Amino acid sequence: MILLTRKAEFSAAHYYWNDSWTAEENERIFGRCANRNGHGHNYTLEVTVAGDVDPVTGFVVDLKLLKDILEREVVGVYDHRHLNLEIAEFAKLIPTTENIAVAIWRRLDGKIPGARLHRVRVYEMADLFADFYGEF
């Protein structure tokens, strides 16, 4: 059993806002992240899959295929987008690093032939990241 990890990047805008709070509450809890004009990040995504090594190819999963799936399901969807305004799952859900990790898990789970999704790691900055292992 091998774990194979591939990184990818996307650049997106977001803000933190809870519609059930007043503006003052949003600013008190979320600070500068509550700016409704949005700010943004270069997000780094690490997707880890688990599986056995195919003795014929030496692969757990074909890397070209894995890259294409990440591009189709996540990077091509999120990159150069405003997460709150343009991505369906964040219409009601605040796009924190934690929630982005869970959302990417939902987008990828069951889509990778021959391997099991093991972990989704999302870096918002180099000094902050969230890991999700599918434990809802």
Beta carbons of 35 and 43 less than 8 angstroms apart: no
Phi, psi of 33 (to 5 degrees): -70, -15
Judged by CB under 8 A, the residue of 27, 71, 77, 96 near a copy of itself is 96
Number of amino acids touching a copy of itself (CB under 8 A): 62
Judged by CB under 8 A, the residue of 69, 74, 75, 102 near a copy of itself is 102
DSSP string, 63-126: HHHHHHHHIIIIIHHHTTEEHHHH-GGGTTS---HHHHHHHHHHHHTT-STTSEEEEEEEEEET
- Minimum CB–partner distance for residue 2 and a copy of itself (Å): 5
Binding residues vs a copy of itself (CB under 8 A)? 1-9, 11-14, 16, 18, 29-33, 35, 37-42, 48, 53, 56-60, 62-64, 79-82, 85-86, 93-99, 101-102, 125-133, 135
